[in-house]
Amino acid sequence: MIEAMIMLVVVGTCAIVWQDVLRARDRAIAASRELCARAGVQLLDQSVSLRRLSLARLRGGGIGLRRQYTFEVSTNGSDRHRGSLHYEGRRLDNFSLPLRADDPSLASLTRLN
C-alpha cells in the first residue's frame, strides 16, 4: 500500500514539473514571436529551445529557476542569426536579437513581463 502511494506521489510530481516546463516554453515562444515582430525580423522554424536551466537567487530574495532559451531569426530572409531569452522565474529578465542593417535602432523594444 505504501509503495503505491509513493509511486502516486512520484508520478504526480513528474506531471507537475512537466506542465511547468511546457508552460515556460510556451511563454518563451510567445515572447520570441513578439520581440521578432517588434524588431522586424523573422522567427525561423519555431526554433525556440531551452539551452540552460539552473537554480538561482531571484531578485525578490527567493530561489527559483533561471532559464535561457535560444532561437534563430532571419533579418533578410536568406540568413540565420541566433537570438536568446533569459528568464528568472517567470519574468523575462533579458533578451538579445540581431540588428537589421536597414534599422540599427531597437529603441522601440521594451522588456516583456
The predicted-structure confidence for 65-96, as pLDDT tens digits, reads as follows 899 999 999 888 888 899 999 999 888 989 99
Residue 83 lies in a domain: yes
Give the total number of structural domains in the chain.
1
Return mean pLDDT, the chain.
85
- Dmax (CA) of the chain: 67
Query: 44: domain range?
Result: 2-96
Residue 110 lies in a domain: no
CB under 8 Å to 63, separation ≥6 — which residues? 55, 56, 57
Evaluate whether 41 touches 79 at the Cβ level (below 8 Å).
no
Give, in degrees to the nearest 5, the angle at Cα 19 between 63 and 29: 85
Residue 82 lies in a domain: yes
Query: Does position 110 have pLDDT exceeding 70, yes or no?
Result: no
- Gap between the Cα atoms of 86 and 68, Å rounded: 5
- Gap between the Cα atoms of 28 and 90, Å rounded: 10
pLDDT of residue 17: 86
Residue 89 lies in a domain: yes
Pairing of strands 63-74, 81-88: antiparallel
Residue 113 pLDDT class (50, 70, 90 cuts): very low
pLDDT of residue 84: 93
74 beta partners: 42
pLDDT of residue 75: 86
pLDDT of residue 70: 94
Residue 17 lies in a domain: yes
Residue 31 lies in a domain: yes
Residue 104 lies in a domain: no
Residue 106 lies in a domain: no
pLDDT, average across residues 57-72: 88
